[in-house]
Amino acid sequence: MKFRNYLVIIAIAAALVSSHSWASSDSEKQAQALAEYQQHVKNMQSGMAMKTVVIAARKAFMASSAYKPYDGPEVGLQSSLSAAFDSENWQQCLELSKRLLDYSYVSLIGHYTAYACNTELGNSEQAEFHGILTEQIIDAIVADQDGLSPESAFTTLSTPELYMFLGVLGLTATEQGLQEQEGRMFDAMTVHGEGIPEESPVILYFDITEQFKRGLTEAENGAENEADNEQGNQH
């Protein structure tokens, strides 16, 4: 597999991620989405990891109560994962990748780190399995789009995943801008690297609408809960 140096990728992703809040939506719809996601996971674990299955699993995960793009393990474990790579503690790396995959079996970070650490430990069969899923998730992010406009944007599930995606493709982001178009939110990333000269960077667009909505709703709920607590303390 032609992935970039994974130590560098983990370090870049850890350095560029900031923590925010996440949100939940209608509980019944979330429960249905979670059940759908879990069925897709069973199929993926049994070797049915076609692109259509992975795309459906990622959509279901985003709609489920399990989705935590701003304070979930992909954000919380970044520093620990980076430290495990720095110290070449591959067993700890595997344990962290398992926690990531327990959170989201459609996590690019989870499968990529499982691939990398199993490779270092000589677990070739497991490395190959997670390497294939890494490629399938990359295909799901791209989804036959070119990323060169909001209309043909890629779709990532979190900011750490976005930077991991760029790193795996050998790209470096120099600017990041948030854009809104027709009610959808996009990260516009100015990048250079593999096949893209630094003097002639391009802008890649990532649809982060569901990620943004989840964070915004949770922030609003958090503010309401804080106000309720303050009122309760006054009585």
Helix (H, G, I), strand (E, B) or coil at 7: helix
**Kind of pairing between the strands at 202-207 and 184-193:** antiparallel
Mean pLDDT over 160-177 rounds to: 96
pLDDT band at 48 (very low <50, low <70, confident <90, very high): confident
DSSP 137: H
Ranges of H-type helices in 104-180: 108-121, 124-142, 159-168
User: What pLDDT sits at residue 42?
Assistant: 94
Mean pLDDT over 151-175 rounds to: 96
Q: Would you kindly state where each structural domain of the chain is located, as residue ranges?
A: 6-234
73-95 pLDDT, tens digit per residue, is: 999 999 999 999 999 999 999 99
User: What pLDDT sits at residue 216?
Assistant: 78
Rg (CA), the chain: 18
User: What pLDDT sits at residue 1?
Assistant: 57
User: What pLDDT sits at residue 232?
Assistant: 58
99-140 pLDDT, tens digit per residue, is: 999 999 999 999 999 999 999 999 999 999 999 999 999 999
Sign of CA dihedral 37, 136, 141, 176: positive
User: What pLDDT sits at residue 2?
Assistant: 54
What's the CA gap between 32 and 222, in Å, rounded? 24
| Tokens matching residue 42 | 């069973």
Sign of CA dihedral 94, 99, 104, 105: positive
What's the CA gap between 174 and 164, in Å, rounded? 15
Mean pLDDT over 172-188 rounds to: 95
Q: Are 66 and 37 in contact (CB under 8 A)?
A: yes
pTM of the model: 0.83
Q: Where are the beta strands (DSSP E) in the chain?
A: 154-155, 171-181, 184-193, 202-207
What's the CA gap between 64 and 7, in Å, rounded? 31
